[in-house]
Structure 1
């Protein structure tokens, strides 16, 4: 890989080298300072991300509003793709633990890569994520978990129009 992106050791959120390289082709670099948000909880999904340098803290809120630390993300970790797939607001807050850099893959580039890799357009519908082979109509569901996540948001009073 060339440019600001380099190969990194594997982690639970890393992707195979060839997938990582393809996603990075459409990404740009964003620099963050300590405590700056990559995205806040409740925001609309505008892309997915990969840590290039530094670490991130992933937090959420309890039902009573208390902050909950979920995990840390480090170099090579990809995150933020689930809301792109189910078109629901972000369910957690991601902030820089220190000065750092992330690769930002815009949603449009993400969907273009998915379409090129699968040979079908993928879109979200009220019945869940659907594959649309060559625009020929609705195909099989390709993410059976999307309706469950949407139902979970509805039961907690989350509104997909929140930003």
Structure 2
């Protein structure tokens, strides 16, 4: 009796619309995967070699090279380098979106959106990293315990977290 009814994701769509959606996904998938792999490669290079540290120190040096400037400007520089590395692939994705009529932005607006998105990401990341470094500097032995997430409320409520 009753139970869950599977949802048909194509309900209400014509076969032509489903075919067009599948063609769009097929056209965009290679760019998405390439962007993911390139982003991971750049992150690994900057995070696992001395190049990332050198970049962070270099951008902070004109302002005295203090740890606050290293965090703030370093996060910004790393975000910009990562974004620039994947920018050509993102542009290809925008071409695909234009071809399928899913984007009507001009290239100027697209670049503005990329810049704003990068700035927001870098600002939020810098705030989080700055808080973490400040915590580690103030509490060098126990910072990791304070930086960990608070346990969810259901841990102490006696209820299970699974479906009822």
Quick one: higher RCO (CA 8 Å, sep 6+), 1 or 2? Answer: 1
Bigger-Rg structure (1/2): 2
More helix by share: 2
What TM-score results when the alignment is normalised by the length of structure 1? 0.24
What TM-score results when the alignment is normalised by the length of structure 2? 0.24
More strand by share: 1
